[in-house]
Amino acid sequence: MSSASVHVLVLPGGSYAMHAERSSEPIVEWLASAGVAASVFRYPVLTRHPAPLLAIREAIRETRSTGVETVGVMGFSAGGHAAGLAAYAPDGERDEVPDFVALAYPPVSMELGTHGASRVNLLGEDADPALRAATSLDRLVAPEAPPTFLWHTGGDTVVPVEHAYLLASALARAGVPHETHIFERGNHALSLARDAGTASAWTALCLSWLQSHGWAP
């Protein structure tokens, strides 16, 4: 497949309260420098589930309607959770599910007590256990889920690395093609992670993964 027929929607972080600039246009610029077409999609924030998911699905449909053959979604922090919902939620139509997904330090589980800001902003203070389970990515993964690239850092105290291990384990159990990288050090919200020690390798690793699937030149 020609990489010219690929487009990546970038979903920035921001705890479902805002859109972090460091994981917005800088990511698009990096992808463009690697020959991958991309754009930022600013999904709805400070609104309840499923509004962000429905908006992302519509954006995927609209991107495909322009003639793009392969649509990927790359999400950071809360944007990673939103991207994961688009990839793994069970009720999506074929034309609104991404062909691949790349997730950076996402809050995977809405059942854990950590990173409550994203959970509260998306689900509300008093979300019941059923809703929290239904929006936890590790509970949604099925064998037909799209190939996934996932990275996180062991030093993340905002979204602990436990979230990444939950998702990686679920992907492995379901037999979903995936690549996971855990870097020993690094804070939350590293974005491109330049000058962030070994975590700075994530961009090269992700590009190599994209190339291995024919999604990047």
The count of other CB atoms within 10 Å of the CB of residue 47 is 13
Q: Which amino acid is at 69?
A: E
CA 191, distance to chain mean position in Å, is 12
The list of the chain residues with pLDDT below 50 reads 1
DSSP string for residues in 132-166: HHHT-HHHH--TTPPPEEEEEETT-SSS-THHHHH
Q: What is the pLDDT of residues 124-138, one digit of tens each?
A: 999 999 999 999 999
Q: What is the pTM of this model?
A: 0.97
Sheet harboring 148-153: ordered strands across? 37-40, 6-11, 70-76, 100-104, 148-153, 178-183
The secondary element (H helix, E strand) that includes residue 103 is strand 100-104
| pLDDT attached to residue 113 | 84
| pLDDT attached to residue 4 | 62
